[in-house]
Amino acid sequence: MSAASYLLFGFAVVWCLFWTARATDSWRLPLVLVTLGGVHLILAEIGFYQNTTSFPPPQIALLAPALLCILLFIVWPLGRRWLYRSDMVALTAIHILRVPVELVLHEAYREGMVPRSMTYSGHNFDILIGLSAAFLLAWSLSARKPCRWVLVVWNSIGILTLVNVVMTAVLSIPSSVQRFAFDQPNVLVISAPWVLLPAILVPAVLWAHVTALVKLLGRGPAEAV
Pair 107, 1: CB distance under 8 Å: yes
Identify the residue with better confidence: 83 or 107.
107
How far is C-alpha 162 from the geometric centre of its chain's CA atoms?
Answer: 7
- The mean pLDDT of 107-131, rounded to a whole number, is 95
Of 57-61, 154-158, 209-213, which range is least confident? 57-61
Instruction: Domain ranges for the chain, please list them.
Output: 3-217
The DSSP call for residue 50 is G
Pair 212, 78: CB distance under 8 Å: no
Model pLDDT for residues 22-79, shown as the tens digit of each residue: 999 999 999 999 999 999 999 999 999 998 888 888 998 998 888 888 888 888 888 8
Model pLDDT for residues 115-126, shown as the tens digit of each residue: 999 999 999 999
- Strand ranges for the chain from DSSP E: none
Mean pLDDT, the chain, as a whole number? Answer: 92
Share of the chain above pLDDT 70, in %: 97
pTM here is 0.91
Identify the residue with better confidence: 21 or 176.
21
Q: What is the DSSP string of 117-152?
A: GGSTTTT--HHHHHHHHHHHHHHHTSSSPPPHHHHH
Q: What is the pLDDT of residue 74?
A: 84
Of 141, 160, 145, nearest to 205 (Cα)?
160
Assign 219 a pLDDT band (cuts: 50, 70, 90).
low
Of 85, 163, 90, nearest to 126 (Cα)?
163
